[in-house]
Amino acid sequence: MVLRGDFPPGARIPEIPLGERLGVSRTPVRLALETLAQDGLLEPIGAGGFRTREFTVRDIWDAIEARGVLEGAAARLAAERLADSRELDPARRISEALDRLVGPSLSQGQPPSTSDMARYGDLNGAFHESIVSLAKSPMLKWSIEKIQSIPFAKPTAVVLSRSVEGTLIAQAQHRAILDAIGNREGARAENLAREHARFARQNLELALAQPAAASVNPELGLALIRS
C-alpha cells in the first residue's frame, strides 16, 4: 500500500482505521509499521505514530550507487573465492532463463511485453542474489539486504527501457559478469557489476522523465518520490 502510493509522502499512517481496513487488530498493524520504519519506508513522529517517508531523486541515485558499490565488491569476492566453475551453474541457469524470457520479443525487434515484467523482475533479483551468494560473505550479504530495503535499490524493482537495445545491454552485462567471475578476474567483475547498477539508474531516470517510454514494476515505489 505504501509503495502504490495509497498514503501520500509525509502522510501520517492511521493505525486504528488501517487495522479496520485490513481486518486485523492494532498489534500486527503496529508491528508492520515498525518493520517498515526499520526498512526506511516510514519514519516515526511524535506520540508514537508513523508517517510515510518522502524520497528525493538524489536519495534514489545514492541508494543505487551504494548498491552498485556493494554488488561490485560481491562480484570481486566471488571471482577471488570461486573454488569450482560449477558454482556458477545456478547463476548461469538464471541468465539463460532471462534470455529465453525476452528472446522471442527481441528476435522480432520488439521490447519485452508488460506481462513479462514481473517474471523478469523475479529472475533479475534471483540473478543478483546468486552473485552475492558466490561472494561467500555473510556480512556483505547482510549489508546488501539492508540497502535493498529501499525500494528503488532492489534488483526486483526493475525498470526495462522500452527498447530492444536497452534489454540487450542488460542481458549482455549479466553474461559479462559471469564470464569475469568464471575467469577469476576480480577487478573486471567488480567494474562490470558497478556499471550494471549505473545502467539501472539510467533506466530509472527514463521512467521518471518519460513514464510512457518504460515498463515499470509497480513495486518500485515511484509514488514516494518528490519531483
Each residue's pLDDT tens digit, 18-48: 999 999 999 999 999 999 898 888 999 977 7
Question: pLDDT digits over 90-132, tens only?
Answer: 999 999 999 998 888 777 877 667 677 778 878 988 999 999 9
Distance in angstroms (rounded) separating the CA atoms of residues 56 and 149: 16
Percentage of residues in the chain with pLDDT exceeding 70? 85
pLDDT band at 218 (very low <50, low <70, confident <90, very high): low
Least Cα distance to 155 among 199, 103, 210, 115 occurs for 199
Q: End-to-end alpha-carbon separation of the chain, Å?
A: 20
Residue labelled with grid coordinates 485490513: 22
Residue 103: its pLDDT value, please? 81
**Cell numbers describing residue 175:** 553474461
Comparing C-alpha atoms, which of 65, 40, 59 is closest to residue 51? 40
Q: Whole-angstrom Cα distance, residue 92 to residue 97?
A: 9
State the pLDDT at residue 29.
94
Which pLDDT score, from 0 to 100, does residue 107 have? Answer: 78
C-alpha cell at 194: 558497478
Residue 167 has pLDDT above 60, yes or no: yes
pLDDT per position as a tens digit, 125-151: 899 999 999 999 999 999 998 888 776
Total-model pTM: 0.79
Of 39, 76, 57, give the one whose Cα is nearest residue 183: 76
Q: What domains can you pick out in the chain, each with its CATH number?
A: 15-53 (1.10.10.10), 61-216 (1.20.120.530)
- Residue 173 clears pLDDT 90, i.e. is over it: yes
